[in-house]
Chains A and B, each alone.
Chain A
Amino acid sequence: MWAFLIFGAPGLLVYVCFVLAPILVSVGYSLTNYNPFRPPTRFVGLRNYQLLFDDPEFWNALRVTTTLTLIVVIVPNVLGLLIALLLDRRGWFYNGLRSVFFVPVVLSSVVVSIIWTRMMADDGVINQVLRGLGVADPPGWLSDPDLAVYSIGVILSWQTLGFCVVVYLAGLQGVPRDLLEAAAIDGAGPVLRFRKVTWPLLAPALTINTVVQLISAFKVFDHVQVITNGGPGEGTTASIAFTVLRVGFTANRQGYASAMAIVMLLVIALASALVLKFLQRREVDL
């Protein structure tokens, strides 16, 4: 009992007060029409959830988030694996390159966003280079409503690539050399060795990268807020995390925003549980 009061209670108490209880409060709000500037607050049952179903803003946010998530799960994973294979050597040269790839991971997303806003501006570095190469009318990476969400996907991929590289490199270093040598002696070429030996042993790295990227992509807020503020046009880059805060704090429809946030939580939980289960099944033990 004393042990619990001293060791367990303080941490649990803060967690309950600042995470668990607020979730329950949010669930409660989501069943009301709560708006601090428009009393009275009434219980409305599941009406907010019904409204969500017919809300084009919500479906748009889900679509934007899904697009970003697919990009951020696939691109850094594939490129990260290729770069890890490229850097899987010893020595200062490869260690130095690994550090370079990891730098954006420790940068603030605000800093990354501003760098890329300048790079991708209509008269920014990228378009200056393209004009120099003879492209008369380079695209407006962040000002074209059809393109902006993919540009943000590229930016997110650049920032998280180093994470995937480092995790895959560690996975590669865990592949026993004698297995690869045995495969080579049996006549397996590099491609076959990769497919049959290396790739199955990289399964835990793939699991980590996919789940971490999935969860972080689903929560993307900073980049949208700083780079496009949801635009250009009508919410073309408004992710779900961005929309919840806009509805809740700017429009003050807190009951409705809470319902949206709860749906967001359920989708993340479900998606990551499914992916985790699926990917862990193919992990092998040596």
Chain B
Amino acid sequence: MSGACGANRRTPRPATAHSEPARSGRGAVAKAAPVNRAALPWLRPTVALLVGAVFFVPLYVVLTNVIKDGPEISTDPMGLPLPPTMDNLVAVMTRPDNLFWVSLTNSVVITTSSVLVLTVLSAMLGHYLARTRSRWARVATVLLLCGLMIPPQVILLPITEVLGTLGMMTTIQGLVLFNVGYYVPFGVFVFSGFMRQIPRELEEAAAIDGASRFQTFWRIVFPLLRPASASVMIFLGVWIWNDFLNPLIILGPGKGTTITTGIYRAIGQYQADFGTVFALMFLATVPVLVFYLALQRHFVKGLTGGATKG
């Protein structure tokens, strides 16, 4: 963005920045003017509400079209759904090929097993790397961090062959295994960062009391890592649930669909019937939306851990 480019020069430190206007001659008459005194108190909420409303339009379209009759969706997509109909939702849930239920089950199984394995493995690995001071550990950390930005395109071709040789192509186990490898860098990144807040002395004390390293980790460290575990589980949960490319390639678009590839298959088959497609999307989104609304606080915390210093 242009502001960033313009700020190429070293930005003045804020501590000195605020004294600059004083030099311009007005400092002597400075009064304690309250910051952000609003001249028009209703202006901010009104503008905020308007912007929010415009932003919300696409979501409104889905929400209303789920409970609207098929023909009305194309003629009057913005109108209120009166009278509301449950036909679309019922149609999705009673499809003869069980697309919704099969996809839902697959997504739940894939997401929970991937996330659980990832949390345990990356907590142990992050702990190990944060507490080991060998050169190899540092090399491994750097290699893992590189994994954060690798696009799946670079590895998918060989992976289909590896999974094919193992007989795990188009299986849920194969996809879970891939997810674990692909997302382990994120988990390690979060856990090893969080490890810095946990005093080494705790572990040393446990060791002196006779606990093995394994016991120390599970009884002392892992419970203390709970906020990091929450971040990892939330983000990986949403990412893996919403993942489209990897299930498309590894599971294929056929029988073993996840929620996302299932929706993709449904639009291919029923191009015209958007009532059903919207209902399917709605049902597919409800779990992740409930998850988000319930854990909103952790979401924001996890996202913004690095946004503020200190």
State yes or no: do A and B come from one complex. Answer: yes
Is A201 part of the binding interface, using a Cβ–Cβ cutoff of 8 Å?
Answer: yes
Contact partner of A119 (CB less than 8 A), chosen from B58, B137, B292, is: B58
Q: Is A138 an interface residue (CB 8 A)?
A: no
Q: Please name 14 pairs of A and B residues whose Cβ atoms are closer than 8 Å in the assembled complex, sorted by A.
A: A6-B124, A17-B181, A106-B289, A108-B244, A158-B58, A184-B33, A186-B18, A187-B30, A199-B7, A204-B308, A222-B245, A265-B151, A268-B149, A286-B310
Known: A103-B59, A111-B281, A174-B307. A196 touches B20 (CB 8 A): yes
B13 within 8 A of A: yes
B124 A261 Cβ-Cβ under 8 A: no
Q: Which one, A22, A115, A166, contacts B304 given CB within 8 A?
A: A166
Interface membership of B177, Cβ < 8 A: yes
Q: Nearest residue in B to A155 (C-beta to C-beta)? A: B58
Partner of B17, one of A25, A177, A200, A218: A200
Is there an interface contact between A265 and B150, defined as CB atoms closer than 8 Å? yes
The contact string, 1 if C-beta is below 8 Å from chain A, for chain B 247-286, is: 0010000000001100110010000001001000100110
Please report the total number of A residues contacting B with Cβ < 8 Å.
120
The reply to whether B4 and A206 contact each other, CB–CB distance below 8 Å, is yes
Question: A94-B48, A115-B61, A187-B26 in contact; A22/B307 too (CB < 8 A)?
Answer: no
Inter-chain CB contacts under 8 Å: number: 325
Contact of A11 among B52, B124, B214, B263 (CB under 8 A): B124
The answer to the question of B197 belonging to the interface, with a C-beta cut-off of 8 Å to chain A, is no
Q: What residues on A are CB-neighbors of B208 within 8 Å? A: none
**Bound CA–CA A125/B155 (angstroms):** 39
Extra 13 A-B pairs, beta carbons < 8 Å, given A11-B125, A171-B304, A248-B153: A8-B125, A14-B177, A20-B147, A74-B1, A83-B51, A97-B52, A106-B242, A108-B288, A111-B284, A188-B20, A262-B154, A264-B153, A265-B151
- B35 A125 Cβ-Cβ under 8 A: no
* Contact across chains for B162 and A22 when beta carbons are under 8 A apart: yes
B62 at the interface (CB under 8 A from A): yes
Cross-interface CB contact of A261 among B10, B26, B143, B153, cutoff 8 Å: B153
Q: In this assembly, does A44 line the interface, its C-beta being within 8 Å of a C-beta of chain B?
A: no
Q: Are B157 and A186 in contact (CB under 8 A)?
A: no
**A86 and B48: CB pair below 8 A?**
yes
Q: Which residue of A lies closest to B58 (CB)?
A: A115
Q: How far is the CB of B94 from chain A (nearest CB, A)?
A: 21
In the assembled complex, A147 has its CB within 8 A of some CB on chain B: no
The A interface is mostly helix, strand or loop, or mixed, namely helix
Q: Which residues of B contact A234 (CB under 8 A)?
A: none
Interface size class of B (residues with CB under 8 A): 35 or more
Q: Is residue A52 within 8 Å, beta carbon to beta carbon, of the partner chain?
A: no
* Docked complex: A1-56 residues within 8 A CB-CB of B: 2-4, 6-8, 10-12, 14-15, 17-23, 25-26, 29
A242-286 interface with B by 8 A CB criterion: 244-245, 248-249, 254, 257-258, 261-262, 264-265, 268-269, 272, 278-279, 281-286
| Set of chain A residues within 8 Å of B83, measured between Cβ atoms | none
Query: Which residue in A7, A173, A186 is a CB contact (below 8 Å) of B128?
Result: A7
CB distance from B59 to the nearest CB of A (A): 6
Q: Which residues of B contact A125 (CB under 8 A)?
A: 57, 61, 77-78
In whole Å, how far is B307's beta carbon from the nearest beta carbon of chain A? 4
Name the contact of B267 in the complex, choosing from A114, A161, A182 (C-beta under 8 A). Answer: A114
* Residue numbers in A under 8 Å from B281 (CB-CB): 111, 114-115
CA distance A168 to B284 in the complex (A): 30
Q: Which A residues lie within 8 Å of B132 (CB)?
A: 3-4, 8
CB-defined contacts of B144 to chain A, threshold 8 Å: 15
Chain B 111-160 interface residues, beta-carbon cutoff 8 Å to A: 121-122, 124-125, 127-129, 132, 137, 140, 143-144, 146-147, 149-159
Q: Is B95 an interface residue (CB 8 A)?
A: no
B67 interfacial by beta-carbon distance below 8 Å = no
Cross-chain contact B184 with A11 (CB below 8 angstroms): yes
- Determine if A114 and B48 form an interchain contact, defined as CB atoms under 8 angstroms apart: no
**Interchain CB contact under 8 A, B149 and A101:** no
Selected from B7, B178, B299, the residue in CB contact (under 8 A) with A18 is B178
CB of B14, distance to nearest CB on chain A (Å): 5
The complex places the Cα of A278 from the Cα of B4 at a distance, in Å, of: 9
Q: Are A185 and B13 in contact (CB under 8 A)?
A: no
One digit per residue, 1 when the CB lies within 8 angstroms of any chain A CB and 0 when it does not, for chain B 281-310 equals: 100110011011100100110011011111
**In the complex the two chains form, what is the Cα distance from A245 to B248 in whole Å?**
11
Cβ–Cβ < 8 Å partners of B177 in chain A:
14, 18
Chain A residue nearest in CB terms to B234: A106
The reply to whether B18 and A100 form a contact with Cβ atoms under 8 Å apart is no
Chain A CB within 8 A of B189 CB: no
Q: What is the minimal beta-carbon distance from A136 to any residue of chain B, in angstroms?
A: 20
In the assembled complex, the CB of B255 is this many whole angstroms from the nearest CB of chain A, namely 18
Q: Which residues of A are found within 8 Å of B249, using beta-carbon distances? A: 245, 249
Q: Distance (Å) between the CB of B187 and the closest chain A CB?
A: 8
Judge if B22 is at the interface, Cβ distance under 8 Å.
yes
Q: Distance in Å from the Cβ of B75 to the closest Cβ of chain A?
A: 9
Whether, in the assembled complex, A77 has its beta carbon less than 8 Å from a beta carbon of chain B, the answer is: yes
